[in-house]
Amino acid sequence: MFLFYTFVIASLILSFLFDRKKTIKALKIAYKKLTKILPAFLTMLISVSIVLYLVPDTTISKYLGSGSLYVEIIIACIIGSISLMPGFIAFPLAKVLIEAGIKYSVIASFTSSLMMVGILTFPVEKKYFGSKLTIYRNVLSVIIVIVLSIIMGLAYGEVTLW
């Protein structure tokens, strides 16, 4: 992250040196857009925090570690879709789940759906992109998550084709 922030600050300084008026104009536009989206984002963040508080790690691992692999992948996708969380929480949680014996393909389904599918973010996305595009994006994301999980299962020997 440090490198990313350094790159962004350096780019901003460079932009400012080349054209101050455009840079200031861009910063004003960015500020207006941030203040416009901030209420919806804070509402979503509060909703996510409540869900994370109500659903502990042990509950997640309990439902992801029993049954058929394909059923586990689907359950992981569903749980991930409704429990949005940032990557800096999701990936350490994935490590905990791996240590608890959860298969890699199930972890792939869970973490990918956390990042790609947004049930909790649907109202925000609908507001900015419309219902049709939001539904298409989420359906396509679920398909990608399932395919990715099966590929991960093949790579780790958890899934066989025949």
The answer to whether residues 6 and 36 belong to one domain is: yes
The answer to whether residues 71 and 23 belong to one domain is: no
The answer to whether residues 47 and 68 belong to one domain is: no
Mean pLDDT of the chain: 86
| Last residue of one domain, picked from the residues 54, 71, 93 | 54
Residue 88's pLDDT band (cuts 50, 70, 90): low
The answer to whether residues 47 and 74 belong to one domain is: no
- 19-66 pLDDT, tens digit each: 999 999 999 999 999 898 888 777 767 766 676 677 776 776 677 777
The answer to whether residues 17 and 70 belong to one domain is: no
* List of long-range contacts for 150-154, beta carbons under 8 Å, 24+ apart: 150/73, 150/105, 152/104, 152/105, 152/107, 152/108, 153/69, 153/73, 153/103, 153/104, 153/105, 153/108
At 51 the pLDDT is: 67
| Last residue of one domain, picked from the residues 10, 26, 54 | 54
**What is the extent of the structural domain holding 108?**
56-162
The answer to whether residues 143 and 160 belong to one domain is: yes
At 77 the pLDDT is: 92
The answer to whether residues 14 and 67 belong to one domain is: no
How many structural domains compose the chain?
Answer: 2
- 5-20 pLDDT, tens digit each: 999 999 999 999 999 9
Averaged over 106-111, what is the pLDDT?
Answer: 93
The answer to whether residues 8 and 65 belong to one domain is: no
User: What is the full DSSP assignment across 31-88?
Assistant: HHHHHHHHHHHHHHHHHHHHHHHHS-HHHHHHHHSSS-HHHHHHHHHHHHHHS---HH
pTM greater than 0.85? no
Averaged over 122-144, what is the pLDDT?
Answer: 92
The answer to whether residues 46 and 111 belong to one domain is: no
